Amino acid sequence: MASDDEPLFKAMTEDRFLAVCSEAKGLVTLKHFKAPFLKVEPFLPGHYEVFDLKPNGQVASVVMVKYHHCRDEPPHALYYNVEKLFPGFETETVKNKLWILFNDAIKRRLMTDRLGLGLQLVAATLLKQLKEAQVQYPLQTFVIGMEDSPDLLAARKVGNHIGSEHHEVLFNSEEGIQALDEVIFSLETYNITTAHASVSMYLISKYIQKNTDSVVIFSGEGSEELIQGYIYFHNKRWSHLENTELERSSQGIYLMISLELRVPFLDHHFSSYYLYLSTEMRIPKNEIEKHLLRETFEDSNLILKEILCDGITSVKNSWFKILQKYVEHQVDDAMMANAAQKFPFNTPKTKGYYYHQILEHHFPGQADWLSHYWMPKWIDATDPSAHTLTHYKSAAKA
C-alpha cells in the first residue's frame, strides 16, 4: 500500500482486519463484528507499507517506509524528456532552469481533451503550449470572488489579454458561510486556514461541474508553500529550520484535491530542484520579500498571488472578517470554557472551536486525524490568518 499525492486512509482492528479508502468517510461507517468502532488513520503521503496477508484473512503490518522526500529528485525524473539543463548556480542559470522545469511540468500534464485553470502564470504558459500543439478548442479560465474583488478584476484582465474563454463565478457571504459545513465534511479537517481557503475552491468546483464539461483543472496551488511566500515568514531569521517549516506548511495540500486538479508548482522535478538550491538563493532580499522564484516569473510581467483567499472579497470587507464575525455569534463563552473537556485533543484556543465542532458532528471521536492545528511559527499567534500578523497590518497601511 502506498500514498503519493492523493489522500489515503486506513483502519485496522485488533484482530487484524484491514480496510483502506481514499476518503475517511468511506471507513467510519464500516461495521466489524469484533470492532464496532474502527480507528481511522490518515496514511502519510510519500510512504508505502508492506503487509503480510495470512491464510485466515488476517493482515499484519511488516514495515512502513518513507520512499520519497520533497527535496529528493525522484528516480522517474531520469526518464523526463527535458531539454538540456546547464550546470551551475548563477542567478540567471537558475532562473533559466526553473522556467524549463516549470514549462515541462505543464507539458507533461496536458494529456486531456478539455482544460480549465486558475492562476495567471499557469494560464499564460499553458496557452503558449496549446498553440504550439495546434490545439483547436479554446482555453477556459475560471475565477471566483465576491463583487468588486481584486481577483475578479485581475483575472478579467488576464483572460482578455490571453484570449481565453473566461468564466467569472460570483458568490456572496451567505453562500460562502452555508458552504462551510459541506467543505469541512468533504475535506475531513477542522484546520481553520484550510476551511477558509477551501470554500472558494469548493464553490468554483461546483460551478465547473454544473456548467462546463471540464474535468481536468490546472491550478497554481502550492506556489506559496514552495517559496515560503506566506506573511509569517517575514518574522523568520532564515536558517536550516525554514526547510522543516516548509514541509510542515505543505503537509496537508494533498487533502485539498477537487475534480482532477493538476498542480505544476508541486511537480516532483520542479520542486526538488528549487528546494535543492541553497538557502541563500531563496532568502528574501528586501522588505517586500522578493524571492528568486517570484523574480523568475515576474520577469514575464506575471505576478503570483500573495495571500490565499484574501483576493476573493473586497478590500473593505475581507473573507477573514466575514467568517470571523459569523463564528463569533456561533460560539459563546460557556462553550469556550468547556473546550478542553469537549475537545481534549488539539483543544481550540479561539472561536475556531466552531470548525472543530462541525467535524465532531460528522465524525465523532476522530479529532486526531489532524496531528496539529496549523499556526504560523516564530510569532505569538493564536489565529492562523495573515490578517492578525503585525507585518500584514503594516503592509495594508502602506
The Cα–Cα gap between 346 and 133 comes to 50
First to last CA, the chain: 52
Residue 243 has pLDDT above 70, yes or no: no
Which pLDDT band holds residue 79 (cuts at 50, 70, 90)? Answer: low
Which pLDDT band holds residue 232 (cuts at 50, 70, 90)? Answer: low
pLDDT per residue over 308-358, tens digit each? 345 677 667 788 888 989 999 999 999 999 999 999 999 988 888 999 999
User: Which domains are assigned to the chain?
Assistant: 2-66 (no CATH), 75-298 (3.40.50.620)
Which pLDDT band holds residue 192 (cuts at 50, 70, 90)? Answer: confident
CA distances from 246 to 229, 243, 254 (A): 10, 5, 14
The Cα–Cα gap between 218 and 124 comes to 12
Question: Which range, 14-18, 131-135, 355-359, 394-398, is most confident?
Answer: 355-359
Q: What is the pLDDT of residue 301?
A: 42
pLDDT per residue over 151-175, tens digit each? 888 888 888 888 888 899 999 999 9
Residue 300 has pLDDT above 50, yes or no: no
Q: What is the pLDDT of residue 128?
A: 79
Query: Helix axis angle, 91-107 relative to 120-132, nearest 10°?
Result: 70
The Cα–Cα gap between 51 and 12 comes to 12
Task: Name the percent of the chain lying above pLDDT 90.
Answer: 15
Q: Please calculate the CA angle 214-216-221 and round it to the nearest 5 degrees.
A: 125
Answer yes or no: are the C-beta atoms of 48 and 1 closer than 8 Å: yes
Q: What is the pLDDT of residue 303?
A: 40
Answer yes or no: are the C-beta atoms of 86 and 93 closer than 8 Å: yes
Answer yes or no: are the C-beta atoms of 5 and 21 closer than 8 Å: no
User: Which residue in the block uniquely carries the three cell numbers 535543492?
Assistant: 276
Picking from 4-8, 10-14, 67-71, 260-264, which range would have the lowest pLDDT averaged per residue?
Answer: 4-8
Higher pLDDT, residue 114 or 124: 124
pLDDT per residue over 47-73, tens digit each? 889 999 888 878 888 999 988 777 777
- Mean pLDDT of all residues in 124-144: 80
The Cα–Cα gap between 188 and 195 comes to 10
Residue 398 has pLDDT above 50, yes or no: no
Task: For residue 341, give the C-alpha cell.
Answer: 473537556
Nearest to 6 by CA among 61, 46, 63, 39: 46
Q: What is the pLDDT of residue 384?
A: 60
